[in-house]
Structure 1
Amino acid sequence: MFTKKRVLGLAVSAALAMPMLASAAADQEATMKDANNWAHPRGQHDNQGYSKLAQVNKGNIKNLKAAWTFATGVNRGHEGSPVVVGNMMYVHTAFPNNVYALDLNDNQKIVWSYFPKQDPSVQAVLCCDNVSRGLGYGDGKIYLQQNDGNMVALDAKTGAKVWSVLVNDPKVGATNTNAPHVIKDKIITGCSGAEFGVRCFLAAYNAKDGSLAWKAYSTGPDAEALIGEGFNKDTPEYSALSVYQDVNGGNKQGGSFKMIPNDQLKIGEKELGTRTWLKPQAVKDGWQHGGGSTWGWWPYDAKTNLVYYGTGNPSVWNPDVRPGDNKWSMTIFARDLDTGMARWGMQMTPHDEWDYDGINEVILFDKGGKTYAWHHDRNGFAYTWVAESGKLIAAEKVHPFVNWATGVDLKTGVPNKLASASTHQDYNAKGVCPAALGTKDQQPAAYSPKTGLMYSPLNHVCMTYEPVESKYVAGQPWVGATLTMFPGPDGVMGGFAAYDPMTNKKVWYNKEKFSAWGGALTTASNLVFFGTLDRWFKAVDAQSGKELWKFQVGSGVIGNAFTYGHKGKQHVGVLSGIGGWAGVAMNLGMTNPTDALGAAGGYAELVKYNAAPGGGALSVFAL
């Protein structure tokens, strides 16, 4: 139940408490305790995308109406969500990554704006549209990770720049699209650029002055990947030297890969970030341009001080020129927040042959006194681990159409690949499911502690995939494959589904005409919100999946649903502005089916539902 007095009272008490707390981001911690705020990119450090607000419920959602809108003035894909702190809302845009501070007490009046001066050439090295996934808040600052690699800290009250640091260099193809994550006294940020042969990492900067605290590379020597003694101590099978034996030549047309029996694995090995990149390599030692992008969203468990994240595909997309498992690309890591040292890491798609980036979010949840980590990977499997140890307890296909592997070994985490889906240079592998954009891309799933279920957007897309020879040139695209995409066997391109995270079995599943590319939100009234590429913003019953409400916004939704309370009213909102991998071809007017790495053909029908390029706007709803 909302009251104005309660909202104001909590805000005042939080403000009074701030100086007494030790963390640099004490203001963030205090703010997140009040459900009326949305101070973290996914609501809370657990990444659940869940709100305790319940004023909007199944009984009154039919009365949910548009309360206000805000056009960002920027075209192209708008991912992520705003940040809400008290009476202030902070809104970000696609490139050039403008920021607006809006006063919710004064008809959303713009209190301050920040307009980064970025070199327009940066857009040419942004792989899959000019997106930004949002802002971080803490220590009295708003943090923006610009596409050009600069991370800036802005005074939350005035918008004045407090500090700036260069995280990545676009001249070599390294850019940033993630939302900075504020955790204690650190700002976590990452790296995009696997399609340019960049060697990526996760990095922590000190909130006070922007100085580097630690950087953990996805590939390379243990010392540079921040892997030391005690890594995978509970799961030494994850540190196997090689998990496949070549069948009929492996890295040749007609060749494939067969799981090495568990009792024959060389486990507990070190320096796997170099030793699993075998010769010959396309360039240098392979791992030096090994990819392993990190896009977000990153949860944190204060009990263990661990932060969790996934690494992306190995460079280049042609698997024949990088034999070996290619660790630690395609890996879920758990790292100590203070030091960056890895507690555990499990590679989900060893020797990736399909661009099944492992970057999707991890969600933490508690059950039976234990904390678990859940992840819907692009490779089509949903995984659940014991969060602290990394022990894998469930791994299942999110939909039966996944056809590159039969299953995952729960002891080793190794998928049993099928030769029928294997890809090789100058061979056109047909009917591989899912497509390279995976059964889910960056659009985050959500969890409800009320139902105990995970709610995940789905891509239902298959592909043809042909690796080709490609030479590495710094700052130039280095893909090494051509592909086309098409709807999967359900005859649609998307869906939205609920899963039991203890088994990863599907509870209910709704089909969608296009991929559901909007991040999900769950609320205490058992509602789930998400957006679609054909402009719908929807609410469904968390228990049954029944559609309860929808509203068509101005452009396709690739942003994340969010909610906040203000003056006694619950508001629900979402950014629209089509783009991302699914919409970038439409935005650029590409029509050849193989353009935008297959998105032009697969999503050609989007032009019947969207103006191009997609115009960015924020839509907010209330009773």
Structure 2
Amino acid sequence: MKRTRLHQMFALSALCGAMLLHSVGVQAVTDEEILDDANTTHQIVSNGLGLAGQRYSPLATVNVDTVQQLRPVWALSFGGEKQRGQESQPMIKDGVMYVTASYSRVFAMDARTGKELWQYDARLPDGIMPCCDVINRGVALYGDLVIVGTLDAKLVALNKDTGKVVWRKTVADYKAGYSITAAPIVVKGKLITGVSGGEFGIVGKVEAYNPVNGDLIWTRPTVEGHMGYVWKDGKKIESGISGGEAGKTWPGDLWKTGGAAPWLGGSYDAETDSLLFGTSNPSPWNSHMRPGDNLFSSSRLALNPDDGSIKWHFQTTPHDGWDYDGVNELVSFSYEENGKTVKAAATADRNGYFYVLDRSNGKFIRGFPFADKITWAKGLDKDGRPIYDESNRPGAPGEGKQGSSVFVAPAFLGAKNWMPMAYSQDTGLFYVPVNEWGMDIWNEGVTYKKGAAYLGAGFTIRPLNEDYIGVLKAIDPKTGKEVWRYKNYAPLWGGVLATKGNLVFTGNPEGFLMAFDAKTGKKLYEFQTGSGVLGSPVTWEMDGEQYISVVSGWGGAVPLWGGEVAKRVKDYNQGGMVWTFKLPKEHTL
């Protein structure tokens, strides 16, 4: 009798404890939740709404018939004078939203009301050197931690209930030009991050850390010739040279300052157990200084998450002379062809070509233009290598003189830049935010100096059309066919979301969150947020209702680097807010 009563008391105590934990929202984020994020609707615990990065939701309460009734239910301002560009994706766990803001800030808020729960403001040094605005694209959640990368190239882990710092680790030297702007990801219990800084002659790298304490697990440089390492039992062990030979595709010592920064962050394909990362431009931009393919710049890489070894690579722009990078997200998807399932990965490159690769080995399946005008190359060969038009490579500089200038399309900001596309499992289409612009570009002499810009080039970006620059395009990855397009006057610089409700959401610099019919491209909804929408929209379910959230705040690379294009957006107001929407209850029944 006493034993039974004691067990009942313990059971009641455990139940009350569990209820208390749930009420204050302290449930830990597990590896299983992260791996299954694409299939769950009540929370978002990975960047990309799933590690594959498809940015697709199976929710359909908000659909083509109901989206016109979408209403804002709350908004929270980031406040202060630190507005600038806001490019974050919100994360939601147990009724709490976590989102980052410019200058490496983190906010936690009640997802039902928008009430701020806590704020973390990184104390950044004066000497940070972000090339393309002081943005941040989001956090990683793991256990009881909220983990963010900062502009001074650190990883900071915060207690998710208080915002207090649990651990802080330096990833690289910000004085050499390193920074972190991307959201880290957690794969197989490892915290994975890349670095920014390709404009400063840094050496790109992807690294894995223990998310519990910040200990380094492995490091993989992404420039050919540099040694990778793993840490086992407290010992540093060589894990092989990237590419196997120093300087094989680089002249002289330029591989030592080769760039190739994986600044956007990565995705993960569980079927092949591969981290998928892209790398940036080689340094310097002046391609005449570095004849050769300059591996692994402007490439997509598949890495082993256990030790960081490179499983395969695919270089989209060998010997890049236009700063086309290769960092754009590589999205895993599958399709049926000739009775067989093709395990593919797709990427829309800054160079204007859309690539479909075999994600098990990196082999080229097909490629096609997704930009209206491409002049730097005449096409792709059977292996996906560009067929250059050398007359549209900027000329070599003479002694004390700049080289000949060329006008080339697309511009270096890319036919598509950082802003993530979405893939619909229903239509089989990718929804790609595209920009139609070109540039005058010329080469100049340059010498590497630690912490100084290492370009060796000058440029001016120009619109290709009077009435639009941005174009949201629906693209069939199996045929290369453009199914529909929506033209936007200003450049598109925000992410895309696709849903089971046959909807595609994105935003524009003019300030509108917009929703389109995924099959036809008809615009069905728009809402003015008060500043340009650069963030990536998300949707989730709470209390039986579907919510949609997006971050608003104009800035980013376009007004800083945009040349003639910047004149189109010079009057747009900066901001910093999170907006959250849902349907009135009568429309959710």
TM-score between the two structures when normalised by the length of structure 2: 0.88
In the alignment, structure 1 residue 553 sits paired with structure 2 residue 529: yes
Choose the corresponding residue for 2:410, options 415, 419, 434. Answer: 434
Q: Secondary structure at the match of 1:483?
A: strand
Residues 1:222 and 1:482: Cα distance change in structure 2 (over 3 Å) = closer
Cross-structure match for 1:495: 471
In the alignment, structure 1 residue 100 sits paired with structure 2 residue 79: no
In the alignment, structure 1 residue 83 sits paired with structure 2 residue 91: yes
User: Is contact 1:94–1:130 with CA below 8 Å preserved after alignment?
Assistant: yes
Residues 1:525 and 1:273: Cα distance change in structure 2 (over 3 Å) = farther
Q: For 2:558 and 2:36, how far apart are their aligned partners in 1?
A: 37
Relative to structure 2, which stretch is displaced further, 420-429 or 520-529? Answer: 420-429
Choose the corresponding residue for 1:120, options 112, 117, 126. Answer: 126
Cross-structure match for 2:507: 531
Residues 1:177 and 1:514: Cα distance change in structure 2 (over 3 Å) = same
Q: For 1:215 and 1:359, how far apart are their aligned partners in 2?
A: 18
Cross-structure match for 1:171: 175
Q: For 2:123 and 2:193, how far apart are their aligned partners in 1?
A: 20
Residues 1:431 and 1:537: Cα distance change in structure 2 (over 3 Å) = same
Name the aligned partner's letter for residue 480 of structure 2: N
Cross-structure match for 1:50: 56
Superposed, which structure 2 residues align to 1:338-487 within 5 Å? 338-368=306-336, 369-411=341-383, 413-424=384-395, 425=397, 426-487=402-463
Q: For 2:77 and 2:404, how far apart are their aligned partners in 1?
A: 43
Cross-structure match for 1:282: none
Q: For 1:55 and 1:400, how far apart are their aligned partners in 2?
A: 36
Following superposition, the deviation at residue 553 of structure 1 comes to 1.4
In the alignment, structure 1 residue 65 sits paired with structure 2 residue 80: no
Q: For 2:196 and 2:122, how far apart are their aligned partners in 1?
A: 19
Q: For 1:272 and 1:308, how far apart are their aligned partners in 2?
A: 23
Following superposition, the deviation at residue 540 of structure 1 comes to 0.7
Q: Give unmatched runs, 5+ long, in structure 1.
A: 1-10, 16-20, 232-269, 280-284, 586-595
Cross-structure match for 2:9: none
User: Is contact 2:218–2:229 with CA below 8 Å preserved after alignment?
Assistant: no
Superposed CA deviations along residues 430-461 of structure 1, whole A, max 9, x for unmatched, are 32000000101100000000111100001111
Following superposition, the deviation at residue 166 of structure 1 comes to 0.5
Q: For 1:80 and 1:403, how far apart are their aligned partners in 2?
A: 33
Cross-structure match for 1:543: 519
Name the aligned partner's letter for residue 443 of structure 2: P
Q: For 1:188 and 1:148, how far apart are their aligned partners in 2?
A: 17
Choose the corresponding residue for 2:248, options 255, 275, 295. Answer: 275
In the alignment, structure 1 residue 312 sits paired with structure 2 residue 320: no
Matched-pair identity in %: 34
Q: Secondary structure at the match of 1:580?
A: coil
Following superposition, the deviation at residue 427 of structure 1 comes to 2.9
Relative to structure 2, which stretch is displaced further, 599-608 or 218-227? Answer: 218-227
Residues 1:28 and 1:390: Cα distance change in structure 2 (over 3 Å) = closer
Superposed CA deviations along residues 220-253 of structure 1, whole A, max 9, x for unmatched, are 3264399999x9xxxxxxxxxxxxxxxxxxxxxx
Q: For 1:505 and 1:222, how far apart are their aligned partners in 2?
A: 41
Following superposition, the deviation at residue 489 of structure 1 comes to 4.8
Residues 1:190 and 1:517: Cα distance change in structure 2 (over 3 Å) = same
User: Is contact 1:133–1:178 with CA below 8 Å preserved after alignment?
Assistant: yes
User: Is contact 2:35–2:50 with CA below 8 Å preserved after alignment?
Assistant: no
Name the aligned partner's letter for residue 98 of structure 1: R
Q: For 1:186 and 1:580, how far apart are their aligned partners in 2?
A: 29
Q: Secondary structure at the match of 1:559?
A: coil
Name the aligned partner's letter for residue 101 of structure 1: A
Name the aligned partner's letter for residue 143 of structure 1: I
Q: For 2:239 and 2:363, how far apart are their aligned partners in 1?
A: 19
Name the aligned partner's letter for residue 322 of structure 2: W
User: Is contact 2:41–2:540 with CA below 8 Å preserved after alignment?
Assistant: yes
Q: For 1:408 and 1:210, how far apart are their aligned partners in 2?
A: 43
TM-score between the two structures when normalised by the length of structure 1: 0.83
Q: Secondary structure at the match of 1:345?
A: strand
Choose the corresponding residue for 1:617, options 563, 566, 577. Answer: 577
Following superposition, the deviation at residue 29 of structure 1 comes to 4.2
Choose the corresponding residue for 2:158, options 130, 133, 154. Answer: 154
Superposed CA deviations along residues 598-620 of structure 1, whole A, max 9, x for unmatched, are x1422212123x12xx1211111
User: Is contact 2:85–2:556 with CA below 8 Å preserved after alignment?
Assistant: yes
Name the aligned partner's letter for residue 179 of structure 1: A
Q: For 1:558 and 1:225, how far apart are their aligned partners in 2?
A: 36
Superposed CA deviations along residues 542-585 of structure 1, whole A, max 9, x for unmatched, are 111111111121111111111122222211121111111113x3
Following superposition, the deviation at residue 115 of structure 1 comes to 2.0
Count of paired positions: 544
User: Is contact 2:462–2:563 with CA below 8 Å preserved after alignment?
Assistant: no
Q: For 1:481 and 1:92, how far apart are their aligned partners in 2?
A: 33
Q: For 2:475 and 2:35, how far apart are their aligned partners in 1?
A: 30
Following superposition, the deviation at residue 144 of structure 1 comes to 0.6
Name the aligned partner's letter for residue 620 of structure 1: T
Residues 1:273 and 1:134: Cα distance change in structure 2 (over 3 Å) = farther
Residues 1:207 and 1:474: Cα distance change in structure 2 (over 3 Å) = same
RMSD across aligned positions (CA):
2.5
User: Is contact 1:297–1:362 with CA below 8 Å preserved after alignment?
Assistant: no
Cross-structure match for 2:586: none
